Structure 1
Amino acid sequence: MINTIKQALENSFSFADYRKKVTNLIAEGKSTGHTQSDDLLKYSELNETRMNRLEKTIEVTNEVKTKLQNLDKKYIWLVLSEGWCGDAAQIVPVIYKMAEVTDKVELKIALRDDNDALMQHFLTNGGKAIPKLILLDAETLEVVADWGPRPHGAKQLILDYKAAHGVVDEPAKIELQKWYLHDKGISIQNEILEMHEQVLS
Protein backbone atom coordinates (compact mmCIF):
# COMPACT_ATOMS: atom_id res chain seq x y z
CA MET A 1 0.00 0.00 0.00
CA ILE A 2 2.75 2.47 0.94
CA ASN A 3 4.45 2.01 -2.45
CA THR A 4 1.13 2.53 -4.22
CA ILE A 5 0.64 5.77 -2.30
CA LYS A 6 4.19 6.94 -3.03
CA GLN A 7 3.68 6.23 -6.72
CA ALA A 8 0.36 8.15 -6.75
CA LEU A 9 2.02 11.11 -5.00
CA GLU A 10 4.79 11.10 -7.60
CA ASN A 11 2.13 11.13 -10.34
CA SER A 12 0.02 13.78 -8.62
CA PHE A 13 -0.66 17.43 -9.42
CA SER A 14 -1.13 20.60 -7.44
CA PHE A 15 -4.62 22.06 -7.87
CA ALA A 16 -3.29 24.69 -10.32
CA ASP A 17 -1.49 22.04 -12.40
CA TYR A 18 -4.56 19.78 -12.35
CA ARG A 19 -6.67 22.65 -13.70
CA LYS A 20 -4.03 23.37 -16.35
CA LYS A 21 -3.90 19.71 -17.40
CA VAL A 22 -7.70 19.55 -17.82
CA THR A 23 -7.78 22.88 -19.73
CA ASN A 24 -4.95 21.87 -22.09
CA LEU A 25 -6.61 18.54 -22.88
CA ILE A 26 -9.93 20.26 -23.63
CA ALA A 27 -8.07 22.54 -26.07
CA GLU A 28 -6.91 19.35 -27.83
CA GLY A 29 -10.49 18.01 -27.89
CA LYS A 30 -9.74 15.45 -25.18
CA SER A 31 -10.72 14.64 -21.60
CA THR A 32 -8.57 13.18 -18.83
CA GLY A 33 -8.76 9.42 -18.39
CA HIS A 34 -8.11 6.35 -20.49
CA THR A 35 -11.48 6.51 -22.30
CA GLN A 36 -12.27 9.25 -24.80
CA SER A 37 -15.74 10.21 -26.05
CA ASP A 38 -17.74 13.25 -27.14
CA ASP A 39 -19.78 13.00 -23.93
CA LEU A 40 -16.70 13.00 -21.68
CA LEU A 41 -15.33 16.03 -23.54
CA LYS A 42 -18.69 17.81 -23.17
CA TYR A 43 -18.74 17.07 -19.41
CA SER A 44 -15.14 18.29 -19.10
CA GLU A 45 -16.05 21.59 -20.76
CA LEU A 46 -19.09 21.99 -18.53
CA ASN A 47 -17.01 21.21 -15.44
CA GLU A 48 -14.38 23.76 -16.47
CA THR A 49 -17.06 26.46 -16.27
CA ARG A 50 -18.30 25.11 -12.92
CA MET A 51 -14.83 25.07 -11.40
CA ASN A 52 -14.10 28.61 -12.59
CA ARG A 53 -17.28 29.77 -10.88
CA LEU A 54 -16.66 27.84 -7.67
CA GLU A 55 -13.11 29.12 -7.33
CA LYS A 56 -14.55 32.64 -7.27
CA THR A 57 -17.59 32.00 -5.06
CA ILE A 58 -16.77 29.28 -2.50
CA GLU A 59 -15.86 30.51 0.96
CA VAL A 60 -14.53 28.46 3.85
CA THR A 61 -16.57 29.06 7.00
CA ASN A 62 -14.80 30.66 9.96
CA GLU A 63 -15.36 27.58 12.12
CA VAL A 64 -13.83 25.26 9.53
CA LYS A 65 -10.93 27.68 8.94
CA THR A 66 -10.09 27.85 12.66
CA LYS A 67 -10.25 24.09 13.13
CA LEU A 68 -8.09 23.41 10.07
CA GLN A 69 -5.50 25.91 11.29
CA ASN A 70 -5.42 24.13 14.65
CA LEU A 71 -4.92 20.58 13.35
CA ASP A 72 -2.58 18.50 15.51
CA LYS A 73 -0.02 17.84 12.76
CA LYS A 74 0.57 18.00 9.02
CA TYR A 75 -1.50 15.97 6.60
CA ILE A 76 -1.61 15.28 2.88
CA TRP A 77 -4.99 15.26 1.20
CA LEU A 78 -4.55 12.96 -1.78
CA VAL A 79 -7.59 13.24 -4.05
CA LEU A 80 -8.44 10.83 -6.85
CA SER A 81 -10.26 12.75 -9.57
CA GLU A 82 -10.90 13.18 -13.32
CA GLY A 83 -11.79 16.29 -15.30
CA TRP A 84 -15.02 14.82 -16.71
CA CYS A 85 -16.51 13.94 -13.31
CA GLY A 86 -19.43 16.20 -12.31
CA ASP A 87 -19.06 15.49 -8.58
CA ALA A 88 -15.33 16.21 -8.72
CA ALA A 89 -16.00 19.56 -10.39
CA GLN A 90 -18.25 20.51 -7.46
CA ILE A 91 -16.06 19.08 -4.69
CA VAL A 92 -12.38 19.50 -5.63
CA PRO A 93 -12.51 23.36 -5.67
CA VAL A 94 -14.00 23.28 -2.14
CA ILE A 95 -11.22 20.93 -0.98
CA TYR A 96 -8.68 23.28 -2.57
CA LYS A 97 -10.13 26.31 -0.76
CA MET A 98 -9.98 24.40 2.54
CA ALA A 99 -6.34 23.37 2.02
CA GLU A 100 -5.46 26.99 1.21
CA VAL A 101 -6.48 28.31 4.66
CA THR A 102 -4.00 26.17 6.63
CA ASP A 103 -0.32 25.22 6.51
CA LYS A 104 -1.23 21.85 8.06
CA VAL A 105 -2.60 20.45 4.79
CA GLU A 106 -0.94 19.78 1.45
CA LEU A 107 -3.33 19.00 -1.40
CA LYS A 108 -2.32 16.56 -4.13
CA ILE A 109 -4.60 15.45 -6.97
CA ALA A 110 -4.05 12.16 -8.81
CA LEU A 111 -5.95 11.04 -11.88
CA ARG A 112 -8.04 7.95 -11.20
CA ASP A 113 -7.30 6.05 -14.41
CA ASP A 114 -3.55 6.61 -14.09
CA ASN A 115 -3.57 5.32 -10.50
CA ASP A 116 -5.76 2.25 -10.67
CA ALA A 117 -3.76 0.33 -8.04
CA LEU A 118 -4.61 3.02 -5.49
CA MET A 119 -8.23 3.33 -6.65
CA GLN A 120 -8.72 -0.41 -6.05
CA HIS A 121 -8.17 0.18 -2.31
CA PHE A 122 -10.92 2.83 -2.14
CA LEU A 123 -13.84 1.43 -4.11
CA THR A 124 -17.42 2.47 -3.28
CA ASN A 125 -19.81 -0.50 -3.45
CA GLY A 126 -17.30 -2.16 -5.77
CA GLY A 127 -17.14 0.84 -8.15
CA LYS A 128 -14.42 3.40 -8.88
CA ALA A 129 -16.52 6.37 -7.73
CA ILE A 130 -14.71 9.70 -7.50
CA PRO A 131 -13.66 12.09 -6.13
CA LYS A 132 -12.06 10.22 -3.26
CA LEU A 133 -10.10 12.11 -0.62
CA ILE A 134 -7.45 9.98 1.10
CA LEU A 135 -6.17 11.46 4.34
CA LEU A 136 -2.46 10.73 4.84
CA ASP A 137 -0.14 11.43 7.73
CA ALA A 138 2.39 13.74 6.03
CA GLU A 139 5.36 12.15 7.83
CA THR A 140 4.59 8.43 7.57
CA LEU A 141 2.22 8.48 4.52
CA GLU A 142 -0.05 6.20 6.54
CA VAL A 143 -3.71 6.25 5.45
CA VAL A 144 -5.57 7.81 8.35
CA ALA A 145 -9.07 8.01 6.82
CA ASP A 146 -10.88 8.60 3.54
CA TRP A 147 -13.93 10.53 2.36
CA GLY A 148 -16.07 10.62 -0.76
CA PRO A 149 -17.28 10.36 -3.40
CA ARG A 150 -20.22 12.58 -2.34
CA PRO A 151 -21.49 14.41 0.73
CA HIS A 152 -24.33 12.56 2.53
CA GLY A 153 -27.10 14.83 1.21
CA ALA A 154 -26.02 14.40 -2.42
CA LYS A 155 -25.63 10.65 -1.95
CA GLN A 156 -29.15 10.41 -0.51
CA LEU A 157 -30.60 12.45 -3.36
CA ILE A 158 -29.19 9.99 -5.92
CA LEU A 159 -30.31 6.94 -3.89
CA ASP A 160 -33.86 8.33 -3.62
CA TYR A 161 -33.95 9.22 -7.32
CA LYS A 162 -32.73 5.75 -8.32
CA ALA A 163 -35.32 4.13 -6.05
CA ALA A 164 -38.09 6.19 -7.67
CA HIS A 165 -36.97 6.04 -11.33
CA GLY A 166 -34.72 2.98 -11.54
CA VAL A 167 -31.91 4.91 -13.26
CA VAL A 168 -29.57 7.86 -12.81
CA ASP A 169 -30.33 9.88 -15.95
CA GLU A 170 -29.80 13.46 -17.12
CA PRO A 171 -32.64 14.91 -14.95
CA ALA A 172 -31.02 13.22 -11.92
CA LYS A 173 -27.70 14.89 -12.75
CA ILE A 174 -29.45 18.26 -13.01
CA GLU A 175 -31.06 17.74 -9.58
CA LEU A 176 -27.66 16.82 -8.18
CA GLN A 177 -26.03 19.97 -9.57
CA LYS A 178 -28.86 22.04 -8.05
CA TRP A 179 -28.19 20.39 -4.69
CA TYR A 180 -24.52 21.37 -4.86
CA LEU A 181 -25.45 24.90 -5.88
CA HIS A 182 -27.76 25.39 -2.89
CA ASP A 183 -25.37 23.76 -0.45
CA LYS A 184 -22.49 26.14 -1.34
CA GLY A 185 -19.83 23.63 -0.27
CA ILE A 186 -20.91 23.68 3.40
CA SER A 187 -21.62 19.93 3.67
CA ILE A 188 -18.27 19.09 2.06
CA GLN A 189 -16.42 21.34 4.51
CA ASN A 190 -18.24 19.95 7.54
CA GLU A 191 -17.87 16.30 6.55
CA ILE A 192 -14.14 16.57 5.82
CA LEU A 193 -13.67 18.34 9.13
CA GLU A 194 -15.70 15.61 10.82
CA MET A 195 -13.39 13.01 9.28
CA HIS A 196 -10.41 14.80 10.85
CA GLU A 197 -12.15 15.05 14.23
CA GLN A 198 -12.98 11.33 14.24
CA VAL A 199 -9.30 10.59 13.68
CA LEU A 200 -8.41 12.68 16.73
CA SER A 201 -11.09 11.25 19.02
Structure 2
Amino acid sequence: MNTLTITTTQLVNPMTYQDFKALSEELVAQNKTSGEEQSEQRIGFTKLNQQRMKRVEKQFVLQPELKELLEQNQQTWKWMIMVESWCGDGAQLLPAIAAIAEEAPNVELTVLLRDENPALMETCLTNGSRAIPKLLCIDAETEERVFTWGPRPAAIQEQVKQLKAEKPDVSHDELVQQIQLWYAKDRSQSLQQDLVQVLQEVLSLEV
Protein backbone atom coordinates (compact mmCIF):
# COMPACT_ATOMS: atom_id res chain seq x y z
CA MET A 1 0.00 0.00 0.00
CA ASN A 2 1.43 3.36 -1.07
CA THR A 3 0.96 5.79 1.80
CA LEU A 4 2.09 8.92 -0.04
CA THR A 5 0.65 11.89 1.82
CA ILE A 6 -1.77 14.04 -0.17
CA THR A 7 -2.67 17.22 1.69
CA THR A 8 -6.32 18.19 1.88
CA THR A 9 -5.55 21.43 0.01
CA GLN A 10 -4.72 19.35 -3.07
CA LEU A 11 -8.15 17.72 -3.24
CA VAL A 12 -10.32 18.59 -6.24
CA ASN A 13 -14.03 19.24 -5.66
CA PRO A 14 -14.33 17.80 -2.11
CA MET A 15 -17.97 17.14 -1.20
CA THR A 16 -20.13 16.11 1.71
CA TYR A 17 -22.32 13.05 1.27
CA GLN A 18 -25.32 15.35 0.81
CA ASP A 19 -23.41 17.24 -1.91
CA PHE A 20 -22.69 13.96 -3.69
CA LYS A 21 -26.35 12.93 -3.55
CA ALA A 22 -27.38 16.31 -4.97
CA LEU A 23 -24.80 15.96 -7.75
CA SER A 24 -26.05 12.46 -8.58
CA GLU A 25 -29.64 13.69 -8.77
CA GLU A 26 -28.59 16.56 -11.02
CA LEU A 27 -26.71 14.17 -13.31
CA VAL A 28 -29.75 11.90 -13.57
CA ALA A 29 -31.94 14.90 -14.46
CA GLN A 30 -29.45 15.83 -17.21
CA ASN A 31 -29.15 12.20 -18.42
CA LYS A 32 -25.45 12.25 -17.58
CA THR A 33 -23.01 10.52 -15.26
CA SER A 34 -19.86 11.56 -13.42
CA GLY A 35 -16.41 10.86 -14.82
CA GLU A 36 -14.92 10.97 -18.27
CA GLU A 37 -16.93 8.18 -19.93
CA GLN A 38 -20.47 9.30 -20.74
CA SER A 39 -21.71 5.89 -21.96
CA GLU A 40 -25.35 4.81 -21.94
CA GLN A 41 -24.42 1.99 -19.58
CA ARG A 42 -22.84 4.31 -16.99
CA ILE A 43 -25.71 6.80 -17.28
CA GLY A 44 -28.08 3.89 -16.64
CA PHE A 45 -26.08 2.77 -13.62
CA THR A 46 -26.21 6.31 -12.20
CA LYS A 47 -30.02 6.17 -12.35
CA LEU A 48 -30.13 2.72 -10.74
CA ASN A 49 -27.77 3.84 -8.00
CA GLN A 50 -30.22 6.48 -6.81
CA GLN A 51 -32.58 3.71 -5.67
CA ARG A 52 -29.77 1.61 -4.24
CA MET A 53 -28.49 4.47 -2.10
CA LYS A 54 -31.96 5.24 -0.76
CA ARG A 55 -32.49 1.58 0.15
CA VAL A 56 -29.18 1.39 2.02
CA GLU A 57 -29.99 4.59 3.91
CA LYS A 58 -33.34 3.16 4.98
CA GLN A 59 -32.01 -0.26 6.03
CA PHE A 60 -28.69 0.66 7.65
CA VAL A 61 -28.16 -0.29 11.31
CA LEU A 62 -24.84 0.43 13.02
CA GLN A 63 -23.29 -2.58 14.74
CA PRO A 64 -22.70 -1.95 18.49
CA GLU A 65 -19.13 -3.29 18.27
CA LEU A 66 -18.22 -0.81 15.53
CA LYS A 67 -19.90 2.07 17.36
CA GLU A 68 -17.89 1.26 20.50
CA LEU A 69 -14.60 1.20 18.59
CA LEU A 70 -15.35 4.54 16.94
CA GLU A 71 -16.08 6.05 20.33
CA GLN A 72 -12.80 4.67 21.70
CA ASN A 73 -10.79 6.50 19.04
CA GLN A 74 -9.14 9.62 20.52
CA GLN A 75 -7.64 10.90 17.25
CA THR A 76 -9.43 13.26 14.86
CA TRP A 77 -9.75 11.50 11.53
CA LYS A 78 -10.61 12.62 8.04
CA TRP A 79 -12.30 9.91 6.03
CA MET A 80 -12.02 10.45 2.27
CA ILE A 81 -13.95 8.15 -0.01
CA MET A 82 -13.23 8.01 -3.73
CA VAL A 83 -16.20 7.07 -5.88
CA GLU A 84 -18.19 7.91 -9.04
CA SER A 85 -21.95 8.17 -9.50
CA TRP A 86 -22.03 5.14 -11.85
CA CYS A 87 -20.21 2.83 -9.43
CA GLY A 88 -22.48 0.01 -8.21
CA ASP A 89 -20.26 -0.89 -5.26
CA GLY A 90 -20.12 2.78 -4.31
CA ALA A 91 -23.91 3.06 -4.24
CA GLN A 92 -24.06 0.17 -1.78
CA LEU A 93 -21.15 1.28 0.43
CA LEU A 94 -21.09 5.09 0.44
CA PRO A 95 -24.44 5.58 2.26
CA ALA A 96 -23.37 3.11 4.95
CA ILE A 97 -19.95 4.73 5.36
CA ALA A 98 -21.64 8.14 5.58
CA ALA A 99 -23.97 6.82 8.30
CA ILE A 100 -21.01 5.35 10.20
CA ALA A 101 -19.06 8.63 9.98
CA GLU A 102 -22.13 10.51 11.20
CA GLU A 103 -22.12 8.38 14.37
CA ALA A 104 -18.37 8.72 14.93
CA PRO A 105 -17.49 11.67 17.20
CA ASN A 106 -14.02 12.23 15.71
CA VAL A 107 -14.60 11.50 12.02
CA GLU A 108 -15.25 13.96 9.19
CA LEU A 109 -16.24 12.45 5.84
CA THR A 110 -15.30 13.90 2.45
CA VAL A 111 -16.51 12.42 -0.84
CA LEU A 112 -14.20 12.71 -3.86
CA LEU A 113 -14.71 11.81 -7.50
CA ARG A 114 -12.01 9.41 -8.64
CA ASP A 115 -11.44 10.90 -12.08
CA GLU A 116 -11.01 14.41 -10.67
CA ASN A 117 -8.36 13.25 -8.18
CA PRO A 118 -5.98 10.99 -10.15
CA ALA A 119 -2.93 11.73 -7.98
CA LEU A 120 -4.70 10.52 -4.86
CA MET A 121 -6.17 7.51 -6.68
CA GLU A 122 -2.66 6.46 -7.73
CA THR A 123 -1.75 6.03 -4.04
CA CYS A 124 -4.40 3.38 -3.43
CA LEU A 125 -4.61 1.14 -6.48
CA THR A 126 -5.98 -2.41 -6.24
CA ASN A 127 -3.73 -4.85 -8.11
CA GLY A 128 -2.76 -1.96 -10.37
CA SER A 129 -6.34 -0.93 -11.14
CA ARG A 130 -8.30 2.19 -10.08
CA ALA A 131 -11.05 0.15 -8.42
CA ILE A 132 -13.53 2.12 -6.33
CA PRO A 133 -14.84 2.93 -3.81
CA LYS A 134 -11.71 3.48 -1.74
CA LEU A 135 -11.90 4.76 1.83
CA LEU A 136 -8.82 6.58 3.10
CA CYS A 137 -8.48 7.43 6.77
CA ILE A 138 -6.18 10.41 7.40
CA ASP A 139 -4.94 11.70 10.76
CA ALA A 140 -6.27 15.28 10.80
CA GLU A 141 -3.30 16.55 12.78
CA THR A 142 -0.39 14.91 10.94
CA GLU A 143 -2.17 14.27 7.59
CA GLU A 144 -0.63 10.79 7.60
CA ARG A 145 -2.55 7.80 6.26
CA VAL A 146 -3.99 5.67 9.07
CA PHE A 147 -5.59 3.01 6.89
CA THR A 148 -7.03 2.40 3.43
CA TRP A 149 -10.05 0.19 2.80
CA GLY A 150 -11.85 -0.99 -0.32
CA PRO A 151 -13.03 -1.40 -2.93
CA ARG A 152 -15.31 -4.17 -1.64
CA PRO A 153 -15.99 -5.99 1.66
CA ALA A 154 -13.85 -9.12 2.04
CA ALA A 155 -16.85 -11.45 2.44
CA ILE A 156 -18.48 -10.22 -0.77
CA GLN A 157 -15.20 -10.28 -2.68
CA GLU A 158 -14.78 -13.90 -1.61
CA GLN A 159 -18.19 -14.69 -3.13
CA VAL A 160 -17.08 -13.00 -6.35
CA LYS A 161 -13.93 -15.15 -6.48
CA GLN A 162 -15.97 -18.29 -5.83
CA LEU A 163 -18.46 -17.48 -8.58
CA LYS A 164 -15.66 -16.78 -11.07
CA ALA A 165 -14.01 -20.09 -10.13
CA GLU A 166 -17.26 -22.01 -10.59
CA LYS A 167 -18.28 -20.15 -13.77
CA PRO A 168 -15.12 -18.92 -15.56
CA ASP A 169 -17.23 -17.71 -18.50
CA VAL A 170 -19.66 -15.67 -16.35
CA SER A 171 -20.65 -12.49 -18.18
CA HIS A 172 -19.93 -9.04 -16.77
CA ASP A 173 -23.66 -8.23 -16.62
CA GLU A 174 -24.45 -11.44 -14.72
CA LEU A 175 -21.60 -10.81 -12.31
CA VAL A 176 -22.73 -7.23 -11.63
CA GLN A 177 -26.30 -8.40 -11.04
CA GLN A 178 -25.17 -11.11 -8.63
CA ILE A 179 -22.96 -8.70 -6.68
CA GLN A 180 -25.91 -6.35 -6.21
CA LEU A 181 -28.01 -9.26 -4.90
CA TRP A 182 -25.28 -10.12 -2.40
CA TYR A 183 -25.15 -6.52 -1.21
CA ALA A 184 -28.92 -6.41 -0.78
CA LYS A 185 -28.87 -9.59 1.30
CA ASP A 186 -25.81 -8.48 3.30
CA ARG A 187 -27.31 -5.15 4.46
CA SER A 188 -23.91 -3.53 5.16
CA GLN A 189 -22.87 -6.24 7.62
CA SER A 190 -19.67 -7.28 5.78
CA LEU A 191 -18.53 -3.66 5.47
CA GLN A 192 -18.94 -3.14 9.19
CA GLN A 193 -17.15 -6.40 10.00
CA ASP A 194 -14.20 -5.24 7.89
CA LEU A 195 -14.10 -1.88 9.64
CA VAL A 196 -14.27 -3.54 13.06
CA GLN A 197 -11.20 -5.58 12.15
CA VAL A 198 -9.33 -2.54 10.77
CA LEU A 199 -10.16 -0.37 13.80
CA GLN A 200 -9.17 -3.12 16.24
CA GLU A 201 -5.75 -3.27 14.59
CA VAL A 202 -5.31 0.52 14.36
CA LEU A 203 -6.44 1.26 17.91
CA SER A 204 -4.34 -1.54 19.39
CA LEU A 205 -1.27 0.00 17.74
CA GLU A 206 -2.07 3.38 19.29
CA VAL A 207 -2.23 2.04 22.84
TM-score normalized by the length of structure 2: 0.91
User: Structure 1: which 5+ residue stretches go unaligned?
Assistant: none
Paired residue for 1:96, among 86, 95, 98?
98
Q: Is 1:44 equivalent to 2:37 in the alignment?
A: no
Residue equivalent to 1:156? 158
Query: How many residue pairs end up in the alignment?
Result: 200
Residue equivalent to 2:189? 186
User: Structure 2: which 5+ residue stretches go unaligned?
Assistant: none
Work out the CA distance in 2 between the residues paired with 1:96 and 1:167: 32
Work out the CA distance in 1 between the residues paired with 2:195 and 2:147: 10
Paired residue for 1:86, among 63, 72, 88?
88
Change in CA separation of 1:168 and 1:88 when aligned onto 2, cut-off 3 Å: farther
Residue equivalent to 2:5? 2
TM superposition shift of 1:80: 0.4
Work out the CA distance in 1 between the residues paired with 2:10 and 2:171: 34
Q: Is the 8 A contact 1:122 1:132 kept in 2?
A: yes
Percentage identity across paired residues of the two chains: 37
TM superposition shift of 1:125: 0.8
Work out the CA distance in 2 between the residues paired with 1:21 and 1:69: 31
Q: Is 1:165 equivalent to 2:168 in the alignment?
A: yes
Residue equivalent to 2:25? 23
> What does 1:128-147 align with in structure 2 at a 5 Å threshold?
128-147=130-149
Dislocated runs of 4+, deviation >3 Å: 1-6
TM superposition shift of 1:66: 2.0
- String of CA shifts for 1:117-155, please: whole Å, max 9, x gaps: 111111101100000001100111111110000011111
Q: Is the 8 A contact 1:162 1:168 kept in 2?
A: no
CA RMSD, Structure 1 to Structure 2 (Å): 1.5
* Letter paired with 1:20: A
TM superposition shift of 1:200: 2.2
Q: Is the 8 A contact 1:82 1:112 kept in 2?
A: yes
Query: More displaced, 118-127 or 173-182?
Result: 173-182
Q: Is the 8 A contact 1:161 1:168 kept in 2?
A: no
